[in-house]
Structure 1
Amino acid sequence: MGIRLNELKNRFNGSVMVYIKGSLVGIISLAITTLFASYWITELADLDARAINLSGSLRMESYQLGMYGLEGNKQEIDKRIAIFEEKLRNPIFQKLQNDEQLNVLWQQTIVHWQSFLKPALLNLPIEDKAQFNLYVKTLAQNADAFVYAVQIDAESKIRLLRTIQVGALFITLLVGMFTLHLISLRVEKPLAELTHAAYAIGKGNFTHHVDLQGDDELALMGATLNHTCEAIASMYGQLELRVKQQTEKLELNNQTLAFLFKTARLLLETREKKHDLQQTFDELSQLIGVNDIELCLMTSGGDQPYVQIKPTHDDKGACRAQSCDNCIGSAAFVSIDDSTVTRFPLVYGDNHYGVIVVRGGKCFAEDSWQLQLVQSVTDQVALSLNLDEQHNQDRRIALLHERTVIARELHDSLAQALSYLKIQVTRLSKTQNKQQYDMQQPIIDELKMGLDSAYRQLRELLTTFRLKMVEEGLEASLNKTIDQLASQSSISFHLEFAVKQVPLSPMEEIHILQIAREASQNTVHHSQANNAWITLKQLDDGQLELAISDDGVGISHNAEKLNHYGMAIMQERAKHLNGELVVLPREEQGTQVKLTFLPVGGKDLYQ
């Protein structure tokens, strides 16, 4: 930029100020010259009036001398001669003698005075009066001619002064018009052009061009402005290009983030519905600009994929045709045989689930967004597979746990009832062998009662095993349980659910639901109550309290023997929750079953 500016300066050597200053100096010089000329002329004409006056007085003096000479008045003549000669010696006449024409007339006057009239006046009385009068008349005529010459000289000076003033005025007008034209051409128009250019540039038009002719400062300013506009336009174009590139990059990042969010949501939001990975990898292929992306899922001991997601145009797939032993790894790596193939192992923890193979194009750089995007998708797929595996493991554990509960409840209910019935059948068989028929009726009655009890327990177990957690959550499941129990009795059930803000695990919800149902079922069978209350709330220490209360007959001393397997199951469930289950008499009337435990989600808050 500096070199370019120096080159521009070298091209513009003129200066508009030189023209303006020269014009002003010319006008000022002309004015000063005119003033000095006028002063000089007026100085020359300053004594002309006095010279005319004195010259006229000489003519008057001539006539007076002639008159006194004719009279013969000696005394008066001597006085007049002295006055006349004193006037002749006046310095004004000495200065007037510098003019050649005036000097001739003046010399004629002096010669005629000294040669003719003065001698005649000194030789009184005058004898020839006619001659004397001729002398006087000639002197008067010479003085008159001299006066007229002085007048002509003064008038010529006035004419010269007028001529100088008119000439100065005309020259001043010409110089002024030239200066105005110069200012209009070299200053006003360029300034207007520069002002318009500045306004256009201020509006963002960096392509505006200033066309100024000349080699002065304003032309240099116009050329500099054009150069600046070109530089700004170039920088602006580069900025627009960078903005466009950054916009495209942001749009690509936005598409990448939207794709990652969509993939994560579809892979992780639900475990029951499997996501179509073919669509995901087709979108990934389009996003990174690689057509050949293959997903192969393998078991830990297998060498062939059991699930393969391949390009839509590929009928077989490369991974299906070869062993996957060389795909084992914990991070993305490039194939040794083909540098255009990059493999992304599906690894989560110590588990290997398969590999994603990207073929075609150049090898991804370590910090490229394509590599990071494929690695992120790989991590999400691996996490999804791990969650599927954990979900299946949780389902197996839950199934085993429920089978243990079923076995325990069958053992504590039907198994004991059947054992009791078996004993009664053995008694009945012995009485039959001993023909003790009178003892058979009580045994038969006990068998009927035992069968009724076993049937009732079977129905309760079937109801319990059918009980499940509805999709709406624990509160909806409790309401459904209350509706079922209310349909089996005349008891009015009331639910107070005050733990909507507490996160509960699925296992905790199942245990709470089963304990509430078991305690409510005991209320239906044994309490003879009119009302029952189920309350679930959080205490100040963070623990949850489940209370099942009724206004019935209250608890008996042998309560543990009544439906003792149900109480044992509730205690077992309380133990799994690391809580405490107690059965207490209600203060007003009836019985209260109370469970307190600290939920898993609240341990971190209250430790």
Structure 2
Amino acid sequence: MTPSSDSATASAASAASSGAHEAPFPKRLSTRIVVLSTVALALVLAMISGTLWLSWQLEGGGAAINDAGSLRMRANAVAIALWEARTGQPSQVDAQMHQLDETLRELRDGDPARPLFLPADAGIHAQFERVASAWNHTLRPAALSDLAASGGEPSMYIGLLPGFVDDANRLVSLIERENARKTAWLRISQVALAALSCVGTMAIVYLLYQWFVAPVQRLQDGLARIEAREFDTRLPVETYDEFGHLTQGFNRMVAELQALYRDLAGRVDAKTAQLAAQNRELATLYEMAAFLNTPGPAESLCHDFLTRVMREFDADGGTVRVVSPDDGNLHLLVSEGMPESITRAEQCMPAADCACGGATAEAPVVFGLVAQPGTRAAGGESGESGLSGAFTQRCLKAGFLSVAVSAIVAQNETLGTFSLHFRREREIPPSGVQLLQTLGRHLGVALMNRRLVALGRQLAVSEERNLVAQGLHDSIAQGLSFLKMQVHLLDGAAQQGDLDEIREIVPLLAGGVEESYDDVRELLLNFRTKLSPGKLRLAVEDTVARFRRQSDAELTLDYRDEDGPPLPPDQQLQVLFVLQEALSNARKHAQALHVQVSVVNARDFRLTIEDDGVGYDPADIASRGESHVGFHIMHERARRLAAVLTLQSAPGRGARVELVLPAASRMAA
């Protein structure tokens, strides 16, 4: 929409609004409806009242016509009564005269209850007075005179009667003429009422159309134009009533929609670009997380990480440095795109001498323009204040104008930093700063995991070496100590030339060497044992067969696979070590004749070794602590399995070893 059209529309709306202010009609629709209803009701009631009044007048005039017409009948009845009285019959003159008097009185006074009254017309009232005067002053005296005279016809009354009848007829004609005129007025009023009803209905329909239908249609037309995206549409404000307020609100809404629609394309483009950037960041994070979870040495991992980050941020160079736990210095681990002068000079340096030391767990990302001192960092507190003079000179000499440094953090511990160097002035937006911070945390977790894995391997090797040392101490060391003592005795016997003692010592030395050799072979066999899922039974059978070859004791094996799943290789190996250690103790110390081995692989895994040897005193073993290496090794193996190891024995009553691996501690093979 052009500015001219906007101004024209605004002017039209303003003029319409001002016209609405000057309208002489009531402003509110409710007031208009009340005024219109009141006027219509008043007119209808007035017309109905006039019609009712005319009807009442006609009814009273009709009764007056009847009574006025009855005057003739009453006058004739008086004449008949006079005639009858002259002929000697009973006289009814007084009664007839009284009825005629009552009729005249009612015509004069009227009777609203009937209703009965003479029309309000001067000629009718004058004619009535002539009729009444003729009766009171002429006919009545004549009738009384004729009644007083004896014999003959009532000549005087009969002579005056035609004139009275003519006056009565004239009165009836006047009343009938007046009723006819009022009847015409009644018809006119009825026609006027019908016409008023039609005109009023049309007027009400027209006003309702103007007040309700037309504004609604204008709003509907405006909505249709808005649906057609004609946002320059403005409706004229013709009234200042509810629809006027609604129209003003419609115009404001359309103006806001027009402004929003103008900016919509730009906003959509900006939002699309923002979503695209977020998608790229998410893809980068996903790819980086998947990459960092792959195995490999830390140097190769950091080099690939740095290459990917440089490609994402279009950096010209980059470094990854780790913090030495000994002196806190930064050691350059890998670099990419950096001159040899910088990598050689910054191979190991204090954190305070480089911008890379400014990134910590508290300020994960720092950013600065090397060439412009005092530039505020985006996301940190860098700038010239965070850069040493030597570092600045080296970066400027290499052509780097901007540097971004992010801390490598794991569990709020700063493991190192990685930096991105740019040969141009570069501003990193907040989303990029957050991405650098997240990438630093991902790399920190990956490095920490590798440290933990290395520590785990070292701990496992240390524990295994401890078990090896315990095994050597329990077997070979004791045998070598025995051989050393026998060699000392042999040396003394040889110096004294005691051949008999020499002959006794030599077999002991040969037996000790043979026993030590067997112990070494057994230890080597145990250390080299490797199992795969489902191979525990074969390993147990091999161990039992070796025991049978090395010992004269009778061994019985009961191996039952019930509803338990196979153990994984690690747990199988620990179970086998416990079995080997228990059988070794039985062979060396128990002097047993019978040994029974039971393996039950049910919901709980259960290993039991029983013998009928000399047994031992558990209290004595407990008081010796870790000096009995064999029992200590079995307890260590049970703890690794999270199993329950039970040792039962008594002097002269054999020994029992039971290892129970609960279902909750079992791992799937």
TM-score by length of 2: 0.52
SS in 2 for 1:51: helix
1:38 aligns with 55
Q: How does 1:81-160 map to 2 (within 5 A)?
A: 99-100=122-123, 103=126, 142-160=163-181
1:532 maps to which of 577, 582, 597:
597
1:343 maps to which of 398, 405, 425:
405
Post-superposition shift, 1:421? 9.2
1:23 aligns with 40
Number of residue pairs the alignment of both structures matches: 510
Root mean square deviation of aligned Cα: 7.2
Q: How does 1:157-236 map to 2 (within 5 A)?
A: 157-181=178-202, 190=212, 219=243
Post-superposition shift, 1:377? 2.8
SS in 1 for 2:332: coil
Post-superposition shift, 1:456? 2.2
Post-superposition shift, 1:17? 2.7
SS in 1 for 2:594: coil
Which stretch of the first structure deviates more once superposed, 154-163 or 263-272?
263-272
Output the CA distance in 2 between the equivalents of 1:487 and 1:7.
Answer: 115
1:49 aligns with 66
- The aligned amino acid for 1:488 is R
Q: How does 1:447-596 map to 2 (within 5 A)?
A: 449=511, 452-467=514-529, 482-489=540-547, 491-493=555-557, 514=577, 516-524=579-587, 526-532=591-597, 549-555=609-615, 568-570=628-630, 573=633, 584-585=649-650, 590-592=654-656
The answer to whether residue 355 in structure 2 is matched with residue 323 in structure 1 is: no
Distance change (3 Å), C-alpha of 1:47 and 1:471: same
1:373 aligns with 438
Output the CA distance in 1 between the equivalents of 2:473 and 2:303.
Answer: 46
Consecutive unaligned residues of structure 2, counting only runs of 5 or more, are: 1-16, 110-117, 146-154, 262-266, 371-376, 379-402, 549-554, 565-569, 621-625, 640-644
Contact 1:335 1:343 in 2 (8 A): yes
1:539 aligns with none
Output the CA distance in 2 between the equivalents of 1:97 and 1:550.
Answer: 146
SS in 2 for 1:298: strand
Q: How does 1:51-70 map to 2 (within 5 A)?
A: 51-54=68-71
Contact 2:646 2:657 in 1 (8 A): yes
Output the CA distance in 2 between the equivalents of 1:382 and 1:482.
Answer: 41
Contact 2:494 2:502 in 1 (8 A): no
Output the CA distance in 2 between the equivalents of 1:450 and 1:89.
Answer: 174
- The aligned amino acid for 2:526 is T
Output the CA distance in 1 between the equivalents of 2:103 and 2:521.
Answer: 174
Post-superposition shift, 1:296? 1.3
- The CA deviation string for residues 380-405 of structure 1, in whole angstroms up to 9 with x for no partner, is 24532542453354356447646745
Post-superposition shift, 1:170? 2.2
Output the CA distance in 1 between the equivalents of 2:632 and 2:501.
Answer: 41
Contact 2:298 2:447 in 1 (8 A): no
Distance change (3 Å), C-alpha of 1:19 and 1:378: same
2:428 aligns with 362
SS in 2 for 1:362: coil
Distance change (3 Å), C-alpha of 1:61 and 1:233: farther
Contact 1:345 1:354 in 2 (8 A): yes
Contact 1:531 1:550 in 2 (8 A): yes
Post-superposition shift, 1:30? 0.9
Q: What is the identity percentage for the equivalent residue pairs of Structure 1 and Structure 2?
A: 11
Q: How does 1:285-434 map to 2 (within 5 A)?
A: 296-298=320-322, 300=324, 305-307=332-334, 323=346, 325=349, 326=354, 327-328=356-357, 330-331=360-361, 332-337=364-369, 339=377, 341-346=403-408, 353-357=415-419, 361-362=427-428, 364=430, 370=435, 373-374=438-439, 376-377=441-442, 379-381=444-446, 383-388=448-453, 390-391=455-456, 393-394=458-459, 397-398=462-463, 401=466, 404-405=469-470, 408=473, 411-412=476-477, 415-416=480-481
Consecutive unaligned residues of structure 1, counting only runs of 5 or more, are: 1-5, 123-132, 501-505, 537-545, 561-565, 602-607
- The CA deviation string for residues 416-449 of structure 1, in whole angstroms up to 9 with x for no partner, is 5875897799799999xx9x9x999988866765
1:541 aligns with none
Distance change (3 Å), C-alpha of 1:218 and 1:37: farther
Output the CA distance in 1 between the equivalents of 2:501 and 2:131.
Answer: 207
Output the CA distance in 2 between the equivalents of 1:151 and 1:586.
Answer: 159
Distance change (3 Å), C-alpha of 1:430 and 1:392: same
Post-superposition shift, 1:260? 8.3
SS in 2 for 1:483: helix
Post-superposition shift, 1:275? 10
- The aligned amino acid for 2:193 is T
- The CA deviation string for residues 93-124 of structure 1, in whole angstroms up to 9 with x for no partner, is 8989964488589879989x999xx99x99xx
- The aligned amino acid for 2:185 is I
Post-superposition shift, 1:357? 3.3
Post-superposition shift, 1:174? 2.9
Output the CA distance in 2 between the equivalents of 1:21 and 1:350.
Answer: 83
Post-superposition shift, 1:483? 3.4
Output the CA distance in 2 between the equivalents of 1:178 and 1:523.
Answer: 127
Output the CA distance in 1 between the equivalents of 2:280 and 2:470.
Answer: 51
- The aligned amino acid for 2:52 is L
Post-superposition shift, 1:284? 8.2
Output the CA distance in 2 between the equivalents of 1:101 and 1:568.
Answer: 155
- The CA deviation string for residues 66-92 of structure 1, in whole angstroms up to 9 with x for no partner, is x99xx9xxxx9xx9xx99x98999795
Output the CA distance in 1 between the equivalents of 2:485 and 2:543.
Answer: 28
Contact 1:297 1:306 in 2 (8 A): yes
SS in 2 for 1:305: strand
- The CA deviation string for residues 281-316 of structure 1, in whole angstroms up to 9 with x for no partner, is 899899xx85559661436277553345x7xxx798
Post-superposition shift, 1:31? 0.8
Which stretch of the first structure deviates more once superposed, 86-95 or 148-157?
86-95
Contact 2:474 2:630 in 1 (8 A): no
Contact 1:296 1:354 in 2 (8 A): yes
SS in 1 for 2:418: strand
Distance change (3 Å), C-alpha of 1:169 and 1:357: farther
